[in-house]
Structure 1
Amino acid sequence: MKHSSAIQLLLAAVAAPVRAAFSWKNVNIGGGGGFVPSVVFHPTTKGVAYARTDIGGLYRLNPDDSWTAVTDSITTDERWGHWGIDALALDPQNPDKVFAATGMYTTDWDPNPGAIIRSSDRGATWQSVDLPFKVGGNMPGRGMGERLAVDPKNSSIIYFGARSGNGLWKSTNGGVTFSKVSSFTNVGTYIPDPSDVGGYNGDKIGLTFVTFDSTSSLLNGATSRIFVGTADNTTASVYVSTDAGATWTAVAGQPAKYFPHKCRLQPAEKALYLTYSDGAGPYDGTSGGVYRYDLTTSTWKDITPVSGGDLFYGFGGLGVDMQKPGTLVVASLNSWWPDAQIFRSTDSGNTWSPIWEWAGYPDQNWYYGLYSDNAPWINAGFISQDTKRLGWMIEALEIDPLDSDHWLYGTGLTLFGGRDLTKWDTTRNVTISSMAVGIEEMAVLGLASAPGGSELLAAVGDNNGFTFKSSSDLGTSPQKPWMNPMWTSATDVDYAGNKPQNVVRVGNSAGSPQIALSTDGGDTWNVHPGADSTKNSGTLAYSAEGDTILWSSGNAGVLRSANQGTFTAVAALPSGAAIAADKKNNTVFYAGSGNTFYRSTNTGTSFSAVSSALPTGVTAVRDIIAHPLVAGEIYVSTNAGIFRSTNYGSTFSSVGSLANTEKISLGKGEGSSWVLYAFGRGANGAKLYATANNGATWVDIQGDSQGFGAISANRVVGSSNVAGQVYVGTNGRGVFCAKGVVSGGGSSSSTSSSAVASSTTTKASSTTAGTTLSTSVVKSSTSSTTVKPSSTSKAASSTTTSAAASATPTVYAKRWGQCAGNGYTGPKVCEAPWVCTFVNDWYSQCL
């Protein structure tokens, strides 16, 4: 659907936004928070190491054991896949060079090609070359590898093992271009779920590693012997070339029933060590093995640490000590109970020592001390709550090649490690700590900042959520996550405008109630007594007095609970509707879906569509926010930009030139002013913009050095307590914070409320029949203005929309959302410009 000519003229007439990028840094949640599939040390230069993550980009190790993110600048809205790192390689001859294969998914619904990025200054700047296929940094098998390797004797030669049946690729110019190696024909045919065509589990895992044998001779200036692994578990999965990649053969005598995950060369021993699992990982696998391949005799040896009933998991992580030939460590990939297991051998795998043993069930002997001082919430929310102290999904496990005491291993939660590993061989009491300072790898699903309450409330995936009571807490990792109840993820959080200490959150776990309440600003929580175990996910709107919750759930439509009662359906609102509560008027809620704006004046009991509230050209209401201090002032983000109302949504006017906007927020500005922040498409591209004069001028506060990934997946909230401070919640890089001044005057005031501008595209007649709403300014944080029906009308303002209403508004599925499939009953038309694309009989998606 096209925008109206009025909107087009308005957008064309406004000047380009000012570029005034803020200085961004992470809020210190700390401890990583997500899966770290790999760590790579430089073989000859001390202190050079990188960690790759599946959704949080690439990080460089600092001298103090902290990490610096190095891929933020290239992870734009168009190339959000640069935060998915599927492979990592360093140049053995040049410690300044680093390479990575980037791309998030190989599914049908990720349109972006994969890329090989390269840096010659340790990640300060990057160059990129697109590949003619996709890369899957967050796909099954992402812990395998490394799939990318630089010839240790020729920096111009780089190999990359692709997914999806695309085979082996080679660069002969240092990563500037890549071409397919036609002589390598074994593409890795394993598919986790062949029936999931085009979906997450429906693709070939492909190649699993590339390992050069640096002990082999040179041939035409290249290392002659190269090993490549494939995801095949039938006849062969390890192949070798002895002529610098001209021809390839299966390695004789190899295991034939598992997938190879890691392959490490120990040059002093002239041996390869390999870990295997019967699953692609990082979640699956019930058996596996560890093998040693002697390069001199071309013989294999099974050195698996356990057997029989003790072998109920596969192996992933593998670290080889370059200072002590014959010393190595391996880890269980997915021992879900009672804990992960790590084994160490000092005799090339002939004998092994575990990091813990049974002392007589259920007691264990732990040959380690475990600490989470850098991120206390890890112990409070996970280590102390679960038998899995050491972690899970261990694919990354490395010994520093220049320091036998320094080791690191990655889990699905954090990056652990220590600096006294050789104590394992004597006293055995090694020190393990969370060593992920600077790694912020969380998908942020909801943000809030309560005026006079908690400065920042962050709902996150996998780790539930966190509370930062004041701005001074932002640099300190929290003592605990949101607990009691503790869920897998929290998908949203909101506060009561007149009682900011009252907070509500929603989780996504199945089988238990997923609404929790706090009366102390998000410090402690209680389960909502009216929530049941069948509903979860979605977004929330909390009434100004904290007595009513509106819940746009993920699986049961829009629901309402009053006074902690049972949640019941709100029939007038479409499933997936955007919702908001007036922050000062306890009786008013707002909602939007498709091209329709809805309002309730009876605490969400019923809603009425405000006819013609939004202009022609709006097809997708994406976000609704209410002014934190002014009753009746709201902003609506749509495919056609942002619209503002100062009379409870009776009429709206356009807020400047920003187009196709996503999440929006108001934040405290200078003096009594408020700043509007918005993710949208402006003159500087798809970015985060701000205005302090209701869109007369928009300022690009993101700039070119800070990427936030896909803007449609991000959250934004302006601080309600600190002038000029704003937060961005990303889909993979945690929460960012910046502070600055947006010039141009206040967008609105906490002491006055302006009338709708004369240029408004709607008329007052759009007010719901029989209802008169007066805009009120509330100065007190404890009072609210009641909206009353007109004294001349007998029809109450809360009149329920009749089932026989003349036109049910079209509901549009959002970008990435489901839009068709067997048994699917949700919206089947995508919001512009996205198209409903067939994936399989059960699933179609807006792309």
Structure 2
Amino acid sequence: MTDKTDQRHQTPTPRPLSADPLEGPATPLPSFMGRRQWLSSCARGTAGALAWTPFGALMAASAAEPVADGAPVRAAHADYTWASLPFGGGGFIDGFLFHPREQGLLYCRTDIGGAYRYDGTARRWLPLLDHLTKPQADLMGVLSLAVDPQDANRLYAACGLYLDAASRDGALLASTDRGATWTIHELGIKIGGNSPGRGSGERLQVDPWHGDTLLLGSSQDGLLRSSDRGRSFQRLPFSPRHVSLVLFDAASGRKGQATRRVYVGSHDQPGLHVSDDGGGSFRRVTETPAQAPQHAAFGPDGVLYVAFAVGDGRHVANPSYATTGSVWKRDTQGRWTDITPVRPGSGARGFGYAGVDADHQRPGRLIVSTFERWADGDDLFLSEDGGRTWAAVGARSTHDLSTHPWLANYKGNTRRPDPMGHWLADVKLDPFNGHRAVYGTGYGLWMTDRLDLATRPASDARVPWRFEVAGIEETATLEIKSPSGGATLLAAMGDVSGAAWEQLDQPPAAGLFAPSNETNRSVDFAQLAPAILARTSDHCATGGYVSVDGGASWKAFGPSPRQARTAQGQRAPTGIVAVSASGGFLVWAPERQAALWSRDKGRTWAPSTGWPASPSPQLWPVADRTVEGVFYLHDRSAGTVLASLDGGASFAPVITGLPVVNDADFAQLVVAPGRARDLWLALPDGLLHFPGVDEPMQRLPLVAQAWMLALGKAAPGASTHALYLWGQVSPAEGAPAQEGLFRSDDAGQRFVRIDDPQHRYGRLLSMAADPLKHGVVFLAPHGRGVVVGRPKGQA
């Protein structure tokens, strides 16, 4: 096998199935050895079948017979370049932060995809947290950012994902070079960067006159103060537990002395609080409503503006669950005034206010955003007279959808008024140019340099918003596949359906998979007929789609016995679909349900027999890439691998005695193309290879932990697929294992490390490797879109 010119973009010719493959006759069962004969031969170890025996015996055999002759050599390092595949946004941007004294210095935070710094010259965002490792992966959830007004190089981030006991504790990340490098200070408490209420802020603040002092409003542990730039924190006497924002009043301090007045908002005891002794004590600002402050800002004249919202009683507000809200201001005499632009209604017409910012150059000019305004669509409101009158910005706006093909699909698929987007959690004005504004949505951000057009009288001019997301890739990509023909990469994505890349340096030309039905759980292709595709989709009434033309068109699954709703009445996740080698069979495993199989490309479905009653929420069927109609399944809770030889109609165990794997741990079964029954099994305690007919199981001695793997085109002159592994690998047998991404060109006898300290990406959700170009691997990190790695110098 030699590395020749990439042949993928010659459109593949699918194997003829019928005049209309979706409506034609059912595919006949394969004519190879019958299931009962094949299973019995597995136990006997006869020719033509794998000699699969209990795991303990296999381990003993592998210890007695080394995998390779000679001692394993030390793993080398291969220079790789890493880059995001261009898609553009795709996730929730929940906060922005301009430096008040450094022109052009802008940051944004995301709930699951880290933080970014904006390069205004290149008009591109630079990711700041891609260096995080697997144990640090939860720190990709950024609850709050803070800058030091006296030192533009200092940046802080309060990070963590969830609040449950199983989640990693949060940390305070500190940088002295604008996020290029970081020091991690563990907090010992949970931080909910992807928990309800995350759209409010900022919760983390640096004292504008005393840079050693930081205040951090936590998700459930109250208000904390640090006197050593975030190295340690102490709890302050503030009774609410869930802080929504912190804001120093710079007018109450002076250089070298701590600021005296601090405003703090709370979610769990909704209301605004103030301290006049630097946080030593607090009192409730009773002139304001019993609603949670979402954002607050001072104008250049010292007037304070606050946006409020309140949740539904069971959940705190922002970005969801708002029932009502308001906007208030405090003048320099301490008088509070309600300046709400539009009053929320009741029921479905309820909504909240989230973002608020003041023009630093023009006193009385401010902007606010709504969220959860389902009936009329969320909007921005702009005032130039301190909130006495307001202009709705949406009615005077245009949004350019042409730069990102998927946007037209996405916006056209919305089920409610959506002129400005949804989840408008934050809006900011450039402190040096109040006509420049940026606001976030649930799918990216919009920026303009002409906000002044929103209030220009007697004018037909519109505020031109551009989707300024170059460099931001935040899709929650749930599964990726690199087919043997057709598109270079297929991706199933949370919230935004999925897409196919033809060229890796361009956004998906066709936009999203169409019909676009929000979350797609999985996608697969037929190895020997790659124009045949299938995907599962939570918002599709029948659960998924099939394509026979490489994704140019899709037809919905036919009716099935699947339960479309959970016992609680919620939409049931549609789970995983696998496509057989030639595309004649599908096996579909909805989450927490028994599997179904189809022999007519999804037109009809029947239950699979022998499917395990596993407590694991999701079981993952995979197809043999060489033999039509053969499927496999790793049942992690029972320590078994099952197989089906009849297109998915029935499954039976063929490997037993494997270690049981907890649902929280990684495990993956991968089938190699080109040879029947060539299985790789990644486990928390190593990597197993079942090479095929009449060959014993091999345990790879250098692999301490295998979390995820992919197989790609063989190296020039090699006879085995290139193996890409995310896990822990020892540089030599007996040496301490190292965490990272590795490649092996000789079936795991030797590994080279391909990641670097700047590109670790936290937690991966999926991996794929290019079957037509050696060295190319694709990653789907949690909340970071899709990343491609190539050997340095490779086009």
Contact 2:597 2:647 in 1 (8 A): no
Q: Match of 2:734?
A: none
| CA shift digits 1:26-73 (9 cap, x unpaired) | 01111x111111000011111101000000000000123210101111
In the alignment, residue 176 of structure 2 is paired with which amino acid? S
Shift of 1:317: 1.4
Q: 1:537 to 1:218 in 2, by over 3 A?
A: same
In the alignment, residue 648 of structure 2 is paired with which amino acid? G
| CA shift digits 1:694-737 (9 cap, x unpaired) | 11112222222212212xx5211100122211100111111110
Q: Match of 1:570?
A: 608
Q: 1:485 to 1:740 in 2, by over 3 A?
A: same
Shift of 1:551: 1.5
Shift of 1:178: 1.9
Of the candidates 294, 299, 309, which is equivalent to residue 277 of structure 1? 309
Q: Match of 1:663?
A: 708
Of the candidates 11, 19, 24, which is equivalent to residue 82 of structure 2? 24
In the alignment, residue 401 of structure 2 is paired with which amino acid? S
CA distance in 2 between partners of 1:354 and 1:50 (Å): 26
1:320 pairs with 2:358 = yes
Q: Match of 2:741?
A: 688
Of the candidates 589, 592, 603, which is equivalent to residue 631 of structure 2? 589
Shift of 1:453: 2.3
Q: Match of 2:403?
A: 374
1:438 pairs with 2:485 = no
Q: Match of 2:380?
A: 342
| CA shift digits 1:69-110 (9 cap, x unpaired) | 01111x211011111000111111111111110001111221
1:542 pairs with 2:579 = yes
Q: 1:454 to 1:419 in 2, by over 3 A?
A: same
1:291 pairs with 2:328 = yes
CA distance in 1 between partners of 2:554 and 2:706 (Å): 34
Q: Match of 2:654?
A: 610
1:71 pairs with 2:124 = no
SS in 2 for 1:223: coil
Q: How does 1:613-628 map to 2 (within 5 A)?
A: 622-628=667-673
Aligned Cα root-mean-square deviation (Å): 2.7
Q: Whose RCO is larger (CA < 8 A, sep 6+)?
A: 2
Shift of 1:160: 0.6
Percentage of matched positions with identical amino acids: 29
Of the candidates 305, 308, 327, which is equivalent to residue 341 of structure 2? 305
Shift of 1:417: 1.6
In the alignment, residue 80 of structure 2 is paired with which amino acid? F
Q: Match of 2:259?
A: 223
1:352 pairs with 2:403 = no
CA distance in 2 between partners of 1:15 and 1:313 (Å): 63
Q: Match of 1:119?
A: 175
In the alignment, residue 160 of structure 1 is paired with which amino acid? L
Q: Match of 2:137?
A: 80
Shift of 1:298: 1.2
| CA shift digits 1:749-799 (9 cap, x unpaired) | xxxxxxxxxxxxxxxxxxxxxxxxxxxxxxxxxxxxxxxxxxxxxxxxxxx
Q: Structure 1 unaligned runs (5+)?
A: 189-205, 357-365, 743-847
Of the candidates 756, 768, 772, which is equivalent to residue 717 of structure 1? 768
Scaled by the length of structure 2, what TM-score is found?
A: 0.83
CA distance in 1 between partners of 2:153 and 2:360 (Å): 21
| CA shift digits 1:214-249 (9 cap, x unpaired) | 122439711221111112456xx2222222233322
1:733 pairs with 2:766 = no
Q: Match of 1:408?
A: 438
1:579 pairs with 2:621 = yes
Instruction: Tell me the number of residue pairs that the alignment of Structure 1 and Structure 2 aligns.
Output: 699
Q: 1:253 to 1:741 in 2, by over 3 A?
A: closer
SS in 2 for 1:722: coil
Contact 2:107 2:116 in 1 (8 A): yes
Q: Match of 1:475?
A: 505
CA distance in 2 between partners of 1:346 and 1:556 (Å): 57
Contact 2:359 2:365 in 1 (8 A): yes
SS in 2 for 1:377: helix
SS in 1 for 2:558: coil
Of the candidates 712, 716, 725, which is equivalent to residue 678 of structure 1? 725
Of the candidates 250, 267, 281, which is equivalent to residue 247 of structure 1? 281
Shift of 1:14: 4.8
The range that moved more, 686-695 or 497-506, is: 686-695
In the alignment, residue 376 of structure 1 is paired with which amino acid? P
Q: 1:263 to 1:480 in 2, by over 3 A?
A: farther
Shift of 1:271: 1.2
Q: Match of 1:518?
A: 547
In the alignment, residue 145 of structure 1 is paired with which amino acid? G
Contact 1:51 1:59 in 2 (8 A): yes
CA distance in 2 between partners of 1:615 and 1:397 (Å): 53
CA distance in 2 between partners of 1:220 and 1:609 (Å): 71
Q: 1:527 to 1:707 in 2, by over 3 A?
A: same
In the alignment, residue 610 of structure 1 is paired with which amino acid? V
Contact 2:155 2:174 in 1 (8 A): yes
Q: Match of 1:773?
A: none
Q: Match of 2:481?
A: 448
Shift of 1:476: 1.5
Q: Match of 1:493?
A: 523
Shift of 1:647: 2.5
Q: 1:221 to 1:5 in 2, by over 3 A?
A: farther
Of the candidates 609, 630, 645, which is equivalent to residue 690 of structure 2? 645
Q: How does 1:150-299 map to 2 (within 5 A)?
A: 150-164=206-220, 166-181=221-236, 184-188=237-241, 206-218=242-254, 221-232=257-268, 237-256=271-290, 258-266=291-299, 268-279=300-311, 280-294=317-331, 296-299=332-335
Contact 2:326 2:343 in 1 (8 A): no
Q: Structure 2 unaligned runs (5+)?
A: 1-54, 312-316, 565-572, 731-736
CA distance in 2 between partners of 1:520 and 1:637 (Å): 33
